[in-house]
Structure 1
């Protein structure tokens, strides 16, 4: 059983909201798809602060970073409205295959591509399976690197650190949009490149999805003030960033 205690932490708390750093590999709550799992962010947060918490959004199991809970059902309703209205700003950091050479505006580009809906009864319970949904993500290429090691049929491999800012909240949106750009996230089993995934496992001795939710900006549902919550990069992610010789 994985021990998440070293990576799990409370990063913000007031009378209405608590935010945690969710480790990669930790489920938010129980799921029939992962029936063997025994640890969940909901229970760990509840035990850490000694009171009931209410989920208001999702973070994929393999993604680490900021996860917010409400401390009452009314605050949960207000926060869920913000997420559903796409009025909450989210930032992610991703390590991807290749250099985003198509980014024309100083490394920035936008993907506006509808995505087929996959069942997620928690966040979108009334949406029809298979329906196409509008999806938009803004990207910013932060750094690039070349690793002089053979990967697949190439003698070397290019990678980039990318900031992703989803403007809608579709399932696996960032992962699917980056794969659409031919820059899949390293470690993505469903949408990634197996050659690069295996290379990172062998070379850096880490097995994870290199995607982290680094910041959430929202309107506090009670004070109505702007609230910015940031999360540190998980050690398993940061150690790989530190070992790469970025340009």
Structure 2
């Protein structure tokens, strides 16, 4: 497949001898996608939204951390989608080009301002076929209930299977959805989509300025403590390639308040893993013995994976989190209280195996207790390759891999101008035979966390006299360090 270049009406003026302009070169042509199918080649199968494979060209300017590095080193270290051997072959065969021109060697150095283009036969992972819910819509905004497992923006292996492209496909090619906030791919819940740029900028500014109060609902391993649990541990991105973030003293400031909504102890008499055809990972014996808690989360800051990392640090990771609640990666204590870098390499090595040699479980588990039914259904390499591009093919993900137990339940303007919320997700409702809350909370204001009392508002000093619950909560967070 040949690459094509965009025509340009804007050219630099002709070079004149003996002038300063003679030192400049005309910018390189921009490589554009030779095949961008419309309408998107969606089809629904077995409860999944799938995309027929198609050709696509990625274009990206050289990032700062790529400057002065070899082209193959950049691809091999930054992108997990394909092995290094694939990228080496793609460079040598001309499927990866630099500034629109073939690359002479895999050791070619990338410089500031370079445009890297990669044309490939794109295989998108399937996502849930669940529709995007509309919470509110007016002339400026669409407030949606994002399904779990669907990324917001096209990125990595996902393009048409993203919030932006699904909405565009539903409303027409000319519609330009503008996300105002972002949720992790595996997270569900409230998102704001601007219908025009000014509306998107106004809402984004409110969120950045922390004038919006947020509440998330999650389901975590074990009996979460009562009271207002404050975690103020800084968070550092350890591996962009693996999406791994951890508590580190040199990380960015991060603050979260947690409050337990319900605890469901394990049923009596559960001693063994159940192996029914409709079994799911909730039947793992070790987890059933610990029970689980439904927890309300109030993020004061907005760091990547903040809630997931803070809950892991406190010893109560999200029950089916594929990164932070996996015993094969973190060991029996699931990373509780860990804040040192000494085991980073081991953690990244084990995490990188998930979905390659090992099953890409979205769950914590003991090796000998993996439910065989779900193990067969989990997404992993099948050993087969695409007839067109030799890309290794994956099996379909199981339902347990399409999201995690984390839901953005409510966003509210602190001045009272607007307030949007959803109900509780199914996984947050009481299990059969047990009593518990079926509505978000019994309090008059679900977001009534007194930040001033907790000393967490910007510019406020810590309170002189703290409540017993707060003292106990901060002790929990610091003792784990």
Q: Larger Rg: 1 or 2?
A: 2
Give the alignment partner of residue 189 of structure 1, picking from 301, 322, 339.
322
Q: Is the partner of 1:132 in helix, strand or coil?
A: coil
Displacement after TM superposition at 1:152 (Å): 6.3
* Structure 1 pair 179–172 and aligned structure 2 pair: CA distance change class (3 A): same
Give the alignment partner of residue 266 of structure 2, picking from 134, 141, 147.
147
Displacement after TM superposition at 1:111 (Å): 1.0
The TM-score normalised by the length of structure 1 is 0.78
* Structure 1 pair 82–24 and aligned structure 2 pair: CA distance change class (3 A): same
* Structure 1 pair 243–65 and aligned structure 2 pair: CA distance change class (3 A): farther
CA distance in 1, matches of 2:303, 2:288: 36
Structure with the largest fraction of strand: 1
Residue 17 in 1 paired to residue 141 in 2? Answer: yes
* Structure 1 pair 164–66 and aligned structure 2 pair: CA distance change class (3 A): same
Displacement after TM superposition at 1:182 (Å): 0.2
Q: Which runs of 5+ in 1 are unaligned?
A: 121-129
* Structure 1 pair 8–118 and aligned structure 2 pair: CA distance change class (3 A): farther
- Aligned residues: CA RMSD: 3.2
Q: How many residues align?
A: 226
CA contact (8 A) 1:118 1:171 kept: no
Residue 113 in 1 paired to residue 237 in 2? Answer: no
Alignment deviations for residues 138-173 of structure 1 (CA, whole Å, 9 cap, x no partner): 111011111133456688122110000101110000
Displacement after TM superposition at 1:88 (Å): 1.3
Counterpart in the other structure of 1:99 = 223
Displacement after TM superposition at 1:109 (Å): 1.4
> Which structure is richer in relative contact order (CA contacts within 8 A, separation 6 or more)?
1
Residue 137 in 1 paired to residue 256 in 2? Answer: yes
CA distance in 2, matches of 1:154, 1:81: 41
Alignment deviations for residues 217-243 of structure 1 (CA, whole Å, 9 cap, x no partner): 137xxxx862111123445x35x7444
The TM-score normalised by the length of structure 2 is 0.42
CA distance in 1, matches of 2:405, 2:419: 23
Q: Is the partner of 1:66 in helix, strand or coil?
A: strand
Give the alignment partner of residue 228 of structure 1, picking from 419, 426, 430.
419
* Structure 1 pair 244–142 and aligned structure 2 pair: CA distance change class (3 A): farther
Displacement after TM superposition at 1:52 (Å): 2.1
